[in-house]
Chain A
């Protein structure tokens, strides 16, 4: 198996984008192609979750290939729920590692704001079990709320911990020009003042408005190449060193212990094993904080902190910029936004930015090893990636 490197990255502003879906993907891809210094690719993978349903478009990869004039490159779309982005990166890795291709473009894109919030929420809810969850009206905020309540009772997480994640990540987005939310929030304003319940109402108790990521449009792209090609291109040598992917029961109620995210644990273990790393080696991480509780729990399941102690580390500032393991320094899904198909690629974009030392105000000093965790379903399909700067 050949080593695989990230030679180029690109992203669009995450916000409301009134452009054709293929064009949004193309903008991010053009940026990545230019960054890598390549004009041709062997293959492109386009990660997306909702185009057929939300945007009434199928065969998205063919459209992106043509929009970018990358013909006759191979092209395929990857739909894997909110983990589509990292799943597409895995497909790109396999293509290069196997020797089938030398240069692969992986783009993630979503345009969710084409529909209203109710339709967007329903579209995301279609990833739940159709017979035991969806037909009873379960949405992702509802899932996350029940999960949070259990976690609170079992491990002592409080609404204050959730708000701390929200404030940390949304304010971190102020240092990321591409992030959706550019509005500072404070603990006083969303939790402690008499007006907090109006400013930050419950959307699914115990989760409040600022515990959830925004609905965003956006695209992100990376260029994966072989080692020989990476050396030829002369960009910083960022190796995609580890990949782990795991699944869990589709219906959450079937899990023996619902507060354990076993797919997260397994995906991280496999990625670390492949890369020859441990959680202690990681300098910077991107975790899938679609809801604030998820950052806390994922920080435990990937091995940064013992089970049930993620919130204690948060209290000590260990997950903030300058802490033991900075998490979501570019805002995460909470601040950057969560165009679902693009998120896994955007996480890789952030980590590569960090490992190149291009993070500006949000740069983690001396970062050389990074991790992304892309969480699909309610933890039933998870992809973990590790990246290492070699030069």
Chain B
């Protein structure tokens, strides 16, 4: 008797409403498109997430490593009811947010990974996925954790999340926080923005190809290296640092 193990290993997917794309204006004046990304585009995302695993600052390494694993899990049908949203500026990937449905009434936020810093890109992405959980999927609440102080400030403090410390979150088993429908409704006016429908030319540009971020987070440069180079006539400090960075990139 033969057994099709794949049928056992692959989780049965629950029906989940699609995310309707939207766009918003950043402080820079650039429009950013938020849209759902499905399996066929996951390899494109992986290429842009992988370099961030080696960025040892602001928790990029741990977040990128986990997102990378989650995306592969989604791509290979090893993750239950995950969804992925991408934020794109002129086609360039600016952020990835993902989460999953635990039950028809309970959502779980996985990650918010900003590939472009500043301008509230991560905050806009987080708001979009909460909107997806509450409005599109009809969840009553979403379980959330933060891996960085920036995340804690953006989610726990700005949304005034409730404690669900008796529930270990799937990310590392740490105590959960929760965004309820009521909390989300309170935040709508100040934190949740976006316009629909997305103008066709903007959406087409986003759908055409996920372009790499032109200014992604990089390993920390010694911020005083440039100053040091100006009094060190041979600029050895700066050169040595660049060698270290190049070596690190090659090793990676």
Q: Which residues of A come within 8 Å of B, CB atoms?
A: 10-13, 15-17, 19, 24, 27-28, 30-31, 33-35, 177-178, 183-190, 193-201, 210
Contacts and interface: CB of A to CB of B under 8 A. Distances in A.
A185 B27 contact: yes
Interface in B211-236: 223-224, 226-228, 230-231
A24 B224 contact: yes
B27 A12 contact: no
Contacts of A27: 224, 227-228
A188 B193 contact: no
Contact of A199 (B119, B194, B226, B230): B119
Nearest to B119: A183
Nearest to B215: A182
A13 B227 contact: yes
A11 B227 CA distance: 7
B226 A13 contact: yes
Given A194-B195, A195-B193, A200 B27 contact: yes
B136 interface: no
Contacts of A188: 25, 29
Given A183-B118, A198-B191, A33 B223 contact: no
A23 to B, nearest CB: 8
B129 to A, nearest CB: 16
Given A17-B223, A30-B231, A34-B230, A193 B25 contact: yes
B115 to A, nearest CB: 15
A189 B25 CA distance: 6
B28 A15 contact: no
A12 B224 contact: yes
A37 to B, nearest CB: 11
A28 B29 CA distance: 35
A17 B224 contact: yes
B174 interface: no
Contacts of A11: 227
A198 B224 contact: no
Given A193-B25, A199-B26, A199-B27, A31 B223 contact: no
A24 B223 CA distance: 10
10 A-B pairs with the lowest CB-CB distances in the bound complex, closest first: A186-B29, A193-B25, A189-B27, A34-B231, A30-B231, A199-B27, A195-B193, A189-B29, A188-B29, A195-B24
29 contacts: A10-B231, A11-B227, A12-B227, A13-B224, A13-B226, A27-B228, A30-B227, A33-B231, A34-B231, A178-B226, A183-B27, A185-B27, A186-B27, A188-B25, A188-B29, A189-B25, A189-B28, A190-B27, A193-B25, A193-B29, A194-B195, A195-B24, A195-B25, A195-B26, A195-B193, A196-B25, A197-B190, A198-B193, A200-B27
Nearest to B153: A117
Given A13-B223, A183-B118, A201-B190, A189 B231 contact: no
A197 B227 CA distance: 38
Interface of B: 24-30, 118-120, 124, 190-195, 223-224, 226-228, 230-231
B190 A15 contact: no
Contact of A198 (B28, B118, B190): B190
B230 A10 contact: yes
Contacts of B230: 10, 31, 34-35
A177 B228 CA distance: 14
Nearest to B25: A193
B150 to A, nearest CB: 12
A200 B123 CA distance: 13
A306 B227 CA distance: 40
Contacts of B119: 183, 189, 199
B99 to A, nearest CB: 21
Contacts of B120: 198-199
Given A34-B230, A185-B28, A199-B27, A12 B118 contact: no
A12 B190 contact: no
Which of B190, B193, B194, B227 counts the most A-chain CB atoms under 10 A from its CB?
A: B227
A179 B25 CA distance: 25
Nearest to A188: B29
Contacts of B224: 12-13, 17, 19, 24, 27
Given A34-B230, A177-B226, A190-B27, 18 more contacts: A10-B231, A11-B227, A12-B223, A12-B224, A13-B223, A17-B223, A31-B231, A33-B231, A187-B29, A189-B26, A189-B30, A194-B24, A194-B25, A194-B195, A197-B190, A199-B25, A199-B26, A199-B119
A31 B225 CA distance: 12
Nearest to A209: B27
A10 to B, nearest CB: 7
A358 B224 CA distance: 20
A183 B28 CA distance: 8
A237 to B, nearest CB: 22
A201 B26 CA distance: 13
A182 B227 CA distance: 18
A269 to B, nearest CB: 36
B33 to A, nearest CB: 13
A17 B30 CA distance: 30
A194 B29 CA distance: 11
Nearest to A182: B118
Nearest to A186: B29
A197 B188 CA distance: 12
Contact of A31 (B26, B28, B118, B227): B227
Contacts of B226: 13, 177-178
A210 B28 CA distance: 12
Contact of A210 (B27, B192, B194, B228): B27
